[in-house]
Amino acid sequence: MPRLRRLWRKRNNAMNKVRHLAGISVGQQKPVVLAFVYYGCPMLCDQVEQGVVGALRMLSFNPGRDYDVVFVSFDSRETPDMAAEKKKKALAHFRRPETDSGWHFLTGSKDSIEAATRAANFRFSFDARNNLFAHASGVAQIPVKDAMKIVAEKGLNAAPAPAVEKKK
């Protein structure tokens, strides 16, 4: 039992860091939907992202107001601009532009990604020959009270907010 408590405490601390880096108040009383992906993934990650957006679109609850959605890239070569492009596509698919503040697409250094994925017990490996990552997929709903803390102390960058075009 003490080992489980230590692991739980470690994960709680990491999630507070994720919330802080994503610009989410640590003291908020909203759950977080979290997924590790890489934005350049040619297969699984895009399906996970689209599945999350599609499933959440069916709910009457809104990101930003009722919960937050956080996608963390585990590819340290990816940039905030790539994350911003994914966020723009997710918002277009979600069809509720007023929820922009509830969507967080993060990138980071190799060290911050390692710490984040280690805290979440998420494993992946890079296949240099094929220039692809081998990884599992999954989405976690993290309640505030029992929050599993996931990402590193520093180095994660939120995607810049997409420009909003005014209707003529």
Paired tokens of 145: 């009270």
Q: Would you give the distance in Å from CA 2 to the centre of its chain?
A: 29
Q: What is the pLDDT of residues 116-137, one digit of tens each?
A: 788 778 899 999 999 999 999 9
Per-residue confidence band for 61, with pLDDT thresholds at 50, 70 and 90: very high
Q: Indicate if the pLDDT at residue 14 is higher than 50.
A: yes
Per-residue confidence band for 5, with pLDDT thresholds at 50, 70 and 90: low
The predicted model scores a pTM of: 0.75
Q: Indicate if the pLDDT at residue 106 is higher than 60.
A: yes
Q: Indicate if the pLDDT at residue 35 is higher than 60.
A: yes
Per-residue confidence band for 32, with pLDDT thresholds at 50, 70 and 90: confident
Distances from the Cα of 84 to the Cαs of 4, 89, 90, 162, 163, in angstroms?
A: 36, 9, 10, 6, 10
Q: Calculate mean pLDDT across residues 136-161.
A: 55
pLDDT for the residue numbered 38? 94
Per-residue confidence band for 152, with pLDDT thresholds at 50, 70 and 90: very low
Rounded to whole angstroms, the Cα distance separating 99 from 126 reads 34
Rounded to whole angstroms, the Cα distance separating 80 from 21 reads 13
Q: Calculate mean pLDDT across residues 98-113.
A: 90
User: Going from the N-terminus, what domains does the chain have, and what CATH number goes with each?
Assistant: 2-158 (3.40.30.10)
